[in-house]
Structure 1
Amino acid sequence: MARILLVEDNEMNRDMLSRRLIRNGHEVTMAVDGEEAVTRAHSDLPDLVLMDIGLPGIDGCEATRRIRATERIAQLPIIALTAHAMTGDRDRALDAGCDDFDTKPVDIQRLLGKIDALLLPKR
């Protein structure tokens, strides 16, 4: 079981994804914007972050850069989530420091595979 920080501003997406992650044995905490994501990454010390890119305030790319800039949490695995499936969006998220990228609507089995792939080396 992993502790996952789910960063998502859309309530329906947050609810659906958190329930599916919990059903698959994960513990989930949530943030609704980039500032809260950085704060919760510091305070909760999750095993992995699912980062929506299109957030209000500071976006997911900037939140990722801020997490990467802090030594204590710089190595957190981060998977970018976005409804934008353009190559440039993927590149922008990876350039900001995300470890992987997935699109919405989320295919839960594909996402669980990506989560496992990032967490297996830590276990």
Structure 2
Amino acid sequence: MKKTILLIEDNEQNSYLTTFLLETHGFHVATAADGAIGIDAATKLLPDLILLDIQLPLMDGYAVAKALREIDALKPIPIIAVTSYAMVGDREKCLAAGCTGYIEKPINPETFVTEISTFLRS
């Protein structure tokens, strides 16, 4: 059975590339263009993994991660921040908000799927 990944990303180009890479490697990808839609989708889908952009409209990724972590059914699901925020302390801020991991943008197409695969539950 295919693993489902929820991608919460507002940039169409980033969403396209990420979805292409993941689907090429056999994953099912659901997308959400903002935090509120992403939270709703996560609650309904219960994906195997959530990829979360931090710089989102209306509700930033930190708030989204915190909201996702407040939902009991979503607590065991890994949330990976995929963000262009790469200053000192940004990784720690993502982890403090509830993210399980952190990947800097731009993503490396050659290593991205391997990176996120390490966070998937068996």
Fold in common (TM above 0.5): yes
Structure 1 segments, 4+ long, off by >3 Å, are none
Distance (Å, rounded) in 2 between the aligned partners of 1:36 and 1:103: 23
Question: CA deviation digits over 1:11-51, x for unaligned, max 9?
Answer: 11111111111001110000011111111100111100000
- Residue 14 (structure 2) aligns with: 13
Alignment of 1:79-98 (within 5 A): 79-98=80-99
Q: Which residue of 1 aligns with 2:28?
A: 27
**Structure 1 counterpart of 2:101, one-letter code:** D
Residue 76 of structure 1 deviates from its aligned partner by: 0.9
TM-score of the two chains, using structure 2 as the length reference = 0.93
Q: Match of 2:79? A: 78
List runs of 5+ in structure 2 lacking aligned partners: none
Equivalent pairs: percent with the same residue? 37
Q: How many residues align?
A: 121
Q: Which runs of 5+ in 1 are unaligned?
A: none
SS, match of residue 81 in structure 1? strand
Residue 72 of structure 1 deviates from its aligned partner by: 1.1
What TM-score, normalized to structure 1? 0.92
TM-superposed deviation, 1:90: 1.0
Q: CA RMSD in A?
A: 1.1
